[in-house]
Amino acid sequence: MKQFEANFDGLVGPTHNYAGLSFGNVASKSNANAVSNPKQAALQGLQKMKALADMGMVQGVLAPQERPDIYALRRLGFSGSDGDVMQQAYKEAPHIFLACCSASSMWTANAATVSPSGDTRDGKIHFTPANLTNKYHRSLEPQVTGNILKATFADPDHFSHHQHLPDNEHFGDEGAANHTRFCQEYGGKGVELFVFGRYAFDESKPAPKKYPARHTFEACEAVARLHGLSEDNVVFAQQNPDVIDAGVFHNDVIAVGNQNVLFYHQQAFLNTSKMKAEILRKFGSDDFHFIEVPDNEVSVSDAVKTYLFNTQVIRLPNGNMAIIAPKECENNAAVAAYLAKLVTLNTPIKEVHYFDVKQSMQNGGGPACLRLRVAMTDKEQTKVNPNTFINDSSYDKLCTWVNKHYRDELHVADLIDPQLLIESRTALDELTQILGYGSVYPFQI
């Protein structure tokens, strides 16, 4: 039996833009109103997917969502033709309108939490779409995310899909961005690390003061229950509230794990030694590498600017681990020096590969934000929708599709162009055929 981790990257949608929607996410706010290039954004993402496939990784793709979200706007009282709804919303409530145009589903680390079959009571892979309640533009995603996940992982004998948690900040859930899994073998039993920013039902506990803690302890517990995980393969850890206030809006901006490695910044967690001891105890082997990056080598501010920890740590077929990093890391002297040193240390990480995902980075989304990890066996892989895997032929098809349908310049004001809605729906309709999804979007149902 072969067992591996597959990465399912989000394809950037045709309305990719910079609207400054995410309070607490420094890049999103500082690039508000910049001109975007949706075509380049989608191609940058596809190039990363193809490069990982070429390294021998199992690489999949998840479709973007339909935007502007006319249904969300109608629900808020805007009416008339689709064009009227857009015009009226833009005039009367521009912030709401812009929130309904975001291509934010591209960051599939926030699509869901996934527990592989080795961890779950019933031996199936479990998926819970994240409710993303803290940001209105992101709270529009979970229903269609669920449809897309079901169209990708359809076989009920192997995949179990849950409804997203209640749409309430008490159960704020940001999905796999705050979840990492350790294991000896991908198909065996692992240890799932759930990271949260605050306790929703206990105000006496520490919490950030400036920026929101999007993900709660109670949401972590609920997902662990839904997925049928056992106490001995779950660890809950709280983010350091001070780093949330420094712009670390998801834990994957300051920590990343894979198999027997946790790569993290010294300031990432609230009670690091307790967490480490629990991980080691539950992991069941001393062959574990805690790679802690101290402040004096890389500051939290540099980590947030470069996304050193929003890197993918992947196990290559040759047995080495590689770090998939954004170019911003290469361009920062302290971070580049750290990574050059890291590959010489006694850890499984032996390679670093840099990628240009700037269009996404400018909204606070690095390489790790763009992917949802699904550890699986070769048998489970045969049950996944085969059209969603990246290979030479699907890559060519998707690049042709992007080049045909996407604009290479989008100003925030262009979002009210009714032609953009028509272009996006036409593109997505064609995409559902390429990916063999059936109907997943409201305009198709």
Ligand X SMILES: N=C(N)NCCC[C@H](NC(=O)CCC(=O)O)C(=O)O
- DSSP-derived 3-state class of residue 420: helix
Q: Does 187 bind ligand X (CB under 6 A)?
A: no
Of 181, 250, 282, 373, the one binding ligand X (CB under 6 A) is 250
List 246, 253, 275, 398, residue binding ligand X (CB under 6 A) = 253
The verdict on whether residue 331 carries a ligand-binding annotation is no
Q: How far is CA 26 from CA 190, 253, 263, 308, in A?
A: 33, 12, 22, 15
User: Is 19 labeled as ligand-binding?
Assistant: yes
Residue 9 is labelled as binding a ligand: no
| 416 contacts ligand X (rule: CB under 6 A) | no
CB of 332 to ligand X, least distance (A): 18
Beta strands in 29-188 (DSSP E): 58-62, 112-115, 125-129, 159-161, 179-183
Fill in the per-residue mask, 367 to 386: x = in contact with ligand X (CB under 6 A), - = not in contact.
Answer: --x-----------------
Of these, 363, 381, 388, 394, which contacts ligand X (CB under 6 A)?
363
Q: Is 137 annotated as a binding residue?
A: yes
Angle at 401 (CA atoms; ends 397, 405), nearest 5 degrees: 175
Segment lying near ligand X (by CB under 6 A), choices 63-71, 255-263, 280-288, 364-372: 364-372
Place of tokens 């162009």: 417
Q: Compute, in degrees rounded to 10, the torsion defined by CA atoms 432, 406, 16, 130.
A: 10
For ligand X (CB under 6 A), the number of binding residues is 23
Minimal distance in Å, beta carbon 46 to ligand X?
18
Query: 179 or 405, CB closer to ligand X?
Result: 179
Closest CA to 138 of 185, 109, 104, 94: 104
For the CB of residue 165, give the shortest distance to ligand X in the complex, in Å: 17
Catalytic residue among 179, 250, 265, 405: 250
Nearest-approach distance from CB 81 to ligand X, in angstroms? 26
* Residue 375, H or E segment: strand 371-377
Nearer to ligand X, 3 or 22 (CB): 22
Least Å from the CB of residue 178 to ligand X: 8
How far is Cα 122 from Cα 132, in angstroms, rounded to an integer? 27
Q: How many CB atoms lie within 10 A of CB 346?
A: 5
CB of 112 vs ligand X, minimal distance in Å: 12
Q: Rank residues 42 and 283 by Cβ distance to ligand X and give the closer one.
A: 42
- Rounded to a whole number of angstroms, the minimum distance from the CB of residue 21 to ligand X is 4
Edge to edge, what strands does the sheet with 312-315 contain? 312-315, 321-326, 349-355
Q: Which of residues 106-165 bind ligand X (CB under 6 A)?
A: 107, 109-110, 135, 138
11-50 residues in contact with ligand X (CB under 6 A) are: 18-22, 25, 28
**Residues comprising the chain, all counted:** 445
Which range touches ligand X (CB under 6 A), out of 55-63, 111-119, 248-256, 393-401?
Answer: 248-256
Which CA distances in Å does 429 have to 64, 138, 436, 441, 445?
11, 22, 11, 9, 11
Q: How far apart are the first and last CA of the chain?
A: 39
Backbone angles phi, psi at 293, to 5 degrees: -95, 120
| 64-72, 165-173, 361-369, 434-442 -> range binding ligand X (CB under 6 A) | 361-369
Kindly give, in sequence order, each residue whose CB lies less than 8 Å from that of residue 220, ignoring residues fewer than 6 positions away: 178, 194, 195, 196, 236
Measure the CA–CA gap between 269 and 262, rounded to whole angstroms: 12
Stretch that binds ligand X, among 185-193, 338-346, 362-370, 436-444 (CB under 6 A): 362-370
Helix (H, G, I), strand (E, B) or coil at 337: helix
Scanning 59-67, 247-255, 291-299, 419-427 for contacts with ligand X by CB under 6 A, the matching segment is 247-255
Determine whether 250 is an active site residue: yes
Which stretches within 93-180 are classed as H helix?
94-99, 136-139, 142-152
Which of 18/159 has CB closer to ligand X?
Answer: 18
Residue 403 marked ligand-binding: no
Q: Is 93 annotated as a binding residue?
A: no
Type of residue numbered 107 = W
CB 109 to ligand X: min, Å: 4
Residue 332 known to bind ligand: no
Q: Which residues, numbered 385-404, are part of the site for ligand X (CB under 6 A)?
A: none
The residue ranges of DSSP E strands in 30-165, in sequence order, are 58-62, 112-115, 125-129, 159-161
Task: From the candidates 174, 192, 218, 328, give the one annotated as an active-site residue.
Answer: 174
Q: Are 70 and 85 in contact (CB under 8 A)?
A: yes
| Binding-site residues from annotation for substrate | 19-28, 110, 137-138, 214, 252, 363
In the complex, which residues of this chain contact ligand X (CB under 6 A)?
18-22, 25, 28, 102, 104, 107, 109-110, 135, 138, 177, 249-250, 252-253, 363-365, 369
| Binding-site residues from annotation | 19-28, 110, 137-138, 214, 252, 363
The set of catalytic residues is 174, 250, 369
